[in-house]
Every structure is written in C-alpha cells, then in structure tokens.
Structure 1
C-alpha cells in the first residue's frame, strides 16, 4: 500500500509515533509522481528539491518537539491558478507561461501555517474555463481509472493527483462545478464551500462572484481537515465572510438520524444516465438505513441555470481578463506594431480557443444594447435559483442528487461540441449560482468509472454537509477503491 493512501489522521499518527518521517512521505509522493504522472499529466510543475528541503526542516521540528500544524508533513498539490511565492503560476495558459508569483494566495499561506509540503502545481483547464481538463495549453490530464477518459475540470489535475496517489490532498477552485465534477469523475471527495468562507485573495479570477477555493481529498474527514485550515476571514478579500469557524472535524459523528433530505426531481430526470440514477437511488436507501428521511421536491428554475451561468461567468471573465494585455506581466507579442496591435496580438497569441470564446460571449452580453437583455436577465434568474434553494431549506437539512449526469467521457469526445460540454455542469451550476456549499463523494461506478453523489447544504452549514457525507462514506466502501495505473 502507498504511504499516501492512509487518511490524514492516520499519517499524522504515524509521524508522531516515529513510524514514518516527513522526508519518507514526501519522497514517496515524488516517486509516485515520477512513476505515473507521465501518463496521468496531473502536474504542470514539480518542486522536488524545495519539497525535500521543507520535509527535512519539518523532521527537525518533529525531533525537537515543536508545535505541529493540522496538515503537518503532508505532501499536497495546488491548482495552478493559486499564487505560490517563488513558483510559476500559469493558469495552464501560454499567456502566463513565464509568470512567477511574488506572493502567496491566502489559502496557500494558511496551508503553510499548518505545515503542509507543496510538491507541485496541478494542471487545469486554461484560466479554469472547461469541464474536461482538455483545455490546458500544455497537455491534457487523463483519468487515473481509465486513461482514455477525461478527469473532469477545471480542477482535473488536482483530482487526478489525489486519485492516483501522488499527493495526500490538493486544492482546487470551483466556479460552476470545477471541484465537484472532477471529484465525481475521479472517485474522490471534492468540497465547494459557501461563497466567501475561503478567501479568494491570490486566486487568479475567472468569475469573481462565483469562484471559491476548496479541497480535493480521499475521505470526508480529510476534507474537514483541509477546510479547517483554509477557512476564515481575510481583510484582503472584500467578499470574505467575517464569521466564526466551527471545528468541522467534530461534525463527523456518523449520526444522521432524523436528517431531512430533499431530492430534486429535476436532478434525476432527462439526461441523467440510468447507472447514475440507480447509484443515487441506492445511496438514498443507505441513508434511510442510517436514519435519514427523504422526499422528492422541485427546484423549478434549474433548467435556466446553465444559460444564466454562462452569461454571468463569461461576462465576469471578459472583465477580469481585460488586465492580461501583454504590458505589465505575461507573454508579450514581439510582432506588434503600436500599442493597440500589441494588445490584439498578445491576447490572440496568448489565449486558447475556449478562453477566447468566453471573453467574446461575455463582452457581447455586457455591450451597449444587450446588457439588459442578457446580463441583467441572467442576474434575475440567479435570484430565482437562490430562492428555490431557500424555500427547500425551510423544510429540509440537505439536498441530495448526482454530481454529474454521467460518468467521465472519452478524451476528445466532446472537444468540438462546447454546448454538450457545458451541459455536463447542469447539476453543479445551480449550487454555485446560489453561493451555498456542496460536496461530491463516491457512490458507485459504471464500467469501471466512478459516480459521484452530491450533497448540498444551507449557506455556512458545511458541518451538516460533512456529517451527512461522512456517515454515508463510513457505511459504504466506495471511498476505499483505488485505480490501478
């Protein structure tokens, strides 16, 4: 068994009992990356020398009896749209292929304070725009369960790295499902926190009203550990919530007796693969055995979520990516004649086709004469979607359904059909528009490809989401399965 397969709690115990050193743990992570990442492609950069030096320093701290952080000695990957001091942050784009971070994102700084070890930056869809990780301008990521299939996106590198046993955990970002969908495809746990619970400072912005950083882990308990480390108010992020952070690990009681579960009929209908529907129904039976009760409900505005999301997210992307002009940082065209030509050529050469598509869509939606017809209307639909959830949560504790309508699809299968690709996020997007927390956990498989169960909670009620997910996980064995690479 890999040194990285045990849970965070188990590894921490082995370190404290001197059964394992941090250097051994980090060396195992680097060896695994060397062994399988040529096939998987989860990493864009690996910082082996720095990771080993950090491990040695932590081992000295352990020998001296110094205080240990929550994530002491754990090798991790960080999605390459999070700034990491002294290392490249490329967003998987040629535009930032030469960009080195001059500061740490707040989430990364908090991980450092908890003594984690950064082993590398994980691959992603360029500027987090995509649901398959085929939009990376460097190389695609492959699903560790079957390398002919996609791992999901845009945090596909982070998900694949955890699933393949390359790291103990990874950070991703979720705008419309970019943590939960790859977690579902790769058979691991992915948590999108409440919007504002985790600081976005240092996250390269895609859609500022939607982006949220969260953990990708092997177990729900591991997710609670990482969330504990990164949650909290940050004065450098104006959208950061100034709320008390509970001990999420204490929520993992295994007791969900009397829990009221809502199952939206829109999440189990047309477009959802029969194997996915059956896996979710079986999960509901298991949750009933644990003492929960469930009832079918309606979230009537779900059908408008994808259209509203792609207008809003693309509009915000158009605004956020205007700063990438070839002047202050990033790649600058050497064929430009004059300033306007420099902007045009730098952006044409630096951005990939999906990023260009969304910038053009967003610019159009924000343009004079179309703002009211598109952007403003999409904002109103967003309010209706949030209201749907608010009404359901007046009677229920959590909402349960599939994470994605199908298991992973083959590499290249949807590359020329962006609309079909966008519809893969139909079950995760409404949650993002509402700004509420949700987790994806494994609940089955189809032809060897994992299926994810999505558990959605009230704003700032990550504790109930984690408690429900943990109870299901501990009563089943889906989380124990490992891909054979």
Structure 2
C-alpha cells in the first residue's frame, strides 16, 4: 500500500465499502515499511502484531474515520507492552505498563499502531543523528538528514509508508523535519493536547502534534487526540472544534504578518525565494501580507536553550539505574551506580544539555541565566501576542536551509542549535504553528511556517489548506523514490 496517492477519507471509503479490509491494508503497509527500512531507518520498533489489531477492528466493524487506519507513533510516546526508548540506551529495555493519553485516544478511535519511529535521543537534536539506533534518512535524498527530532515520523510519512504519524515538538521538532521532507506538520497550542505518558524533555515547551501529506489528514488526527485530560493539569478545558469540517480556503480579508527578522542573514536565498513565492500566492488569493518586526527574536535561541536545558536537567534526573532503564554493571556502591548508569546510558548531546541546565539552575548562576531567560521569554510572548492582536497569522520560513548532509553539522553544536532559530518562538509563547510545503529549492523541499494566536489552529489549517490546494505539493514524489523505481 502506497499512501502517496491516498488520504484518510479515501482509505475510510474503501474500508467502509469493503474494497479492502484493515487487516489487508495493515499487512501491505508493514511489508512496504520492512522493504525500505534498511535504507530509511525510520523505525525503532515495527509492530508486526498490528495485523491482529486490524483484524479485530474488521470484526468489530469500521466506524469513525480513523477506524482501521494505520498510523505511526514517535518512540517517546508511551505504548503499553511495547518498547518505548526515546531512542536512548538508557531506556533501551523499557516496557511501559500504561499508554500515553494520545495513544489511548487513537486506540479508542480504532487506529492501528504501525510501530515506534526513530528520533533524536530524548528529542534533543535537529537531525535524528543523536539517536542510539542510528540516523534516519531523508525521504528525498538518503544522504541527507530527515531533520529532528521527529525525523523517523517525517520520513515514513514522506515516503508513503504511513498516512500520518505522531510527533513531538519542543523547539521545532515537528515543523523542521516536515519542512525537510516536504510534508505538512502541526504542533498545537500548548495545553491543547495531553502530555501525559510522553517522555519529558522540557515540560513548558513539549507538545504532541501530527505529520501527514495532506492538511485535512492532520486535522482529523489532531482533533482526535486533543482535549482536556485529568492526568495532565496543563491541558485546557476549551472545547475542541471540528477543524476538518470547518476547513476553508478563502483567504480574503486574512492579514498575514511577516517578521523582517525571519529573513535571517544566514538563510539560503533560494529558500527565501520559495517562501516569497508562497506569500505571493496568498496575496493572489486575497490575503494582506505586511512586514513587521520582532526585535526580541535575536535572543530566542539563547532563551530557549537555557530554559529547555534547565527543564531537561530536572526531568532526566529520574534516570538513575535504580527503578527502570539501563543499569551499569560491576558497581561497588550507590554513587557509582548512579554515575556509571548515566554516563553509559546517555549520549553526548543529552549529557551536554544536562550539564548546561544544571549550571543554569545552580545557586551562583540562577539569577543570571534561568531567571533572566524566563524574563526575556515573557517579553517575547508579549511581542508575539501584540502582533497577533492585529494579524491573523505570522508567516516565514521554517528553516534557514533545506536538509543538510548526514554528518555535516553534528560535530558543531552551535550550528545545530541555530537550526531552530525560526521555530523556537512558537514554543516559547505556546502558540500553534505548522510547516506547509511551499515548493523546492535545488530539488529539496522548503516549508512555510504559519503561526496563529493561542487556540486558533483553525486559521493555520485554513491557510495551509489554501496553499495546498494551489500548489498540490502532496502529489510530488520524493526524488529518492523515483530513483528506486
């Protein structure tokens, strides 16, 4: 089964009309995934028992739109009885005893879990190169990174091996790989989707979202997993609207702000040209596009890495080799158990961020770093909210370049961190944001980023849908797939 020419609606219609069963659909999907896994390394665990789950759905009858539809899940989302590793050695033997709320909601809707996709270790990275299980590969060019941290999810959707996949986004981890692989990816408003059962990286920034080829498919999945959760006090009690049913591609009267700072001096001119063309499309469709300024943007990377690393330092202290996860051998005392388990279990990038965060939270540095970062974050939130009080959307590039080569930046942490400069703002402010395929630059995909005010995911879906229906990018076949054929 090749999902490049399918949508959730078309699959649902075939299942309802019994043109295909969920069991057949899932079996074909797994065969396709297995046939490409050596080249893509998109999965940590492939769920070969998924056909049994699909057969049960067939027996119970196809109901809602996601009933019997195979979906991939990022491997930092807990799945009861199935390995959940966060792509880290320290969790390489972790078998959860409960499932994340988002996964339970998919189960209740009848979706079929294809398996757990590869990611940067603990979602810390922008290329999936920090994974304990090796680098995933870009769907368009296997010599290039798929982005990160949700690189495995992006790759498996872009190659047509899954109709949709769940990802998480802390500083751009859904939008950046979506841009690099030419698919649609959205992170919702902070608090719109439960984080209960998601391996924590940075608790004030982490969000679960969706990746798919088509906007309407992400809308369907997101509204299924969204909503208040008693297990997660940060979730909102706001009603989840039917984003898919309310899709509207009419852009007349829509005001779009374009921060001049997003035209970053280090951004590839060909990327900017592609983004300009997408913005011109919106103008032709009746939208108003105006340049504005976000002067605090220049501090976004520093603020993000202080806050995210500090929260990571706190969240990752639970991995000590005692209760679960990797445990060092041949230790003589409890201190040695802690030190050796963490030293052997964590990768270099995770250790780097733990040390950075621990320093920022230390007594002598707290006021100068963490407190100051939190204050600048508040200024930044106010700036963004002020812009969105006057405009419907903020738009610009997702990344400063198209996908870069595997190994090209991994040894330069600062260069890697700068990959997130354009995506971080939405996480710091808790705003919904998405990457929408805008076109190609030198044969590689470029994503347009859209941000909206809190809980206004509908405006993002509508604008993304309008651009999608103009450029039909979902019909594009990744270059690497053409070459394989």
TM-score by length of 2: 0.98
Partner of 1:229: 224
Stretch moving more, 250-259 or 123-132: 250-259
Q: Which runs of 5+ in 1 are unaligned?
A: none
Report how far residue 479 of structure 1 moved: 2.1
In structure 1, what is the Cα distance between the partners aligned to 2:98 and 2:477? 36
Is the CA contact 1:251–1:464 (under 8 Å) kept in the aligned structure 2?
no
Is the CA contact 1:159–1:188 (under 8 Å) kept in the aligned structure 2?
yes
> Does 2:274 correspond to 1:279?
yes
Deviations 1:110-159 (A, max 9, x none): 00011100011000000000000000011110001000000000000110
> Does 2:400 correspond to 1:405?
yes
Query: Residue 149 of structure 1 is aligned with which of 144, 150, 155?
Result: 144
Query: Residue 370 of structure 1 is aligned with which of 365, 370, 375?
Result: 365
Stretch moving more, 241-250 or 200-209: 241-250
Is the CA contact 1:171–1:216 (under 8 Å) kept in the aligned structure 2?
yes
> Does 2:185 correspond to 1:185?
no
Deviations 1:55-83 (A, max 9, x none): 11112223xxxx61331111111111000
Partner of 1:35: 35
Partner of 2:92: 97
Report how far residue 5 of structure 1 moved: 3.4
Is the CA contact 1:22–1:74 (under 8 Å) kept in the aligned structure 2?
yes
In structure 1, what is the Cα distance between the partners aligned to 2:399 and 2:109? 33
Superposition pairs for residues 270-349 of structure 1, below 5 Å?
Answer: 270-349=265-344
In structure 1, what is the Cα distance between the partners aligned to 2:317 and 2:334? 15
Deviations 1:158-200 (A, max 9, x none): 1011111111111000000000000000110110100010000
Query: Residue 117 of structure 2 is aligned with which of 114, 122, 134?
Result: 122
Q: Which runs of 5+ in 2 are unaligned?
A: none
Superposition pairs for residues 172-211 of structure 1, below 5 Å?
Answer: 172-211=167-206
Partner of 1:24: 24
Report how far residue 447 of structure 1 moved: 2.2
Report how far residue 384 of structure 1 moved: 1.1
Partner of 1:255: 250
SS at match of 1:416: coil
Deviations 1:369-411 (A, max 9, x none): 1000000000011111111111111210001101111100000
Partner of 2:153: 158
> Does 2:48 correspond to 1:53?
no
TM-score by length of 1: 0.98
Is the CA contact 2:4–2:475 (under 8 Å) kept in the aligned structure 1?
no
Stretch moving more, 15-24 or 218-227: 15-24
Partner of 1:392: 387
Partner of 2:241: 246
Query: Residue 130 of structure 2 is aligned with which of 112, 132, 135?
Result: 135
Is the CA contact 1:137–1:352 (under 8 Å) kept in the aligned structure 2?
yes
In structure 1, what is the Cα distance between the partners aligned to 2:364 and 2:64? 54
The ranges of structure 1 where at least 4 consecutive aligned residues each deviate by more than 6 angstroms after the TM superposition are: none
Partner of 1:83: 78
Partner of 1:10: 10
In structure 1, what is the Cα distance between the partners aligned to 2:13 and 2:417? 43
Stretch moving more, 405-414 or 441-450: 441-450
Q: Number of paired residues?
A: 480
Deviations 1:398-452 (A, max 9, x none): 0110111110000000011010000011000011100000010110112221100
Report how far residue 95 of structure 1 moved: 0.3
In structure 1, what is the Cα distance between the partners aligned to 2:8 and 2:66? 7
In structure 2, what is the Cα distance between the partners aligned to 1:38 and 1:76? 20
Partner of 1:456: 451
Stretch moving more, 344-353 or 72-81: 72-81
SS at match of 1:475: helix
Report how far residue 35 of structure 1 moved: 1.2
In structure 2, what is the Cα distance between the partners aligned to 1:440 and 1:289? 20
SS at match of 2:389: coil
In structure 1, what is the Cα distance between the partners aligned to 2:19 and 2:436? 30
In structure 2, what is the Cα distance between the partners aligned to 1:269 and 1:100? 43
Change (3 A) 1:88 1:187: same
Report how far residue 3 of structure 1 moved: 4.9
CA RMSD of aligned residues (A): 1.0
Is the CA contact 1:199–1:237 (under 8 Å) kept in the aligned structure 2?
yes
In structure 2, what is the Cα distance between the partners aligned to 1:426 and 1:181? 11
Report how far residue 47 of structure 1 moved: 1.2
Is the CA contact 2:94–2:325 (under 8 Å) kept in the aligned structure 1?
yes
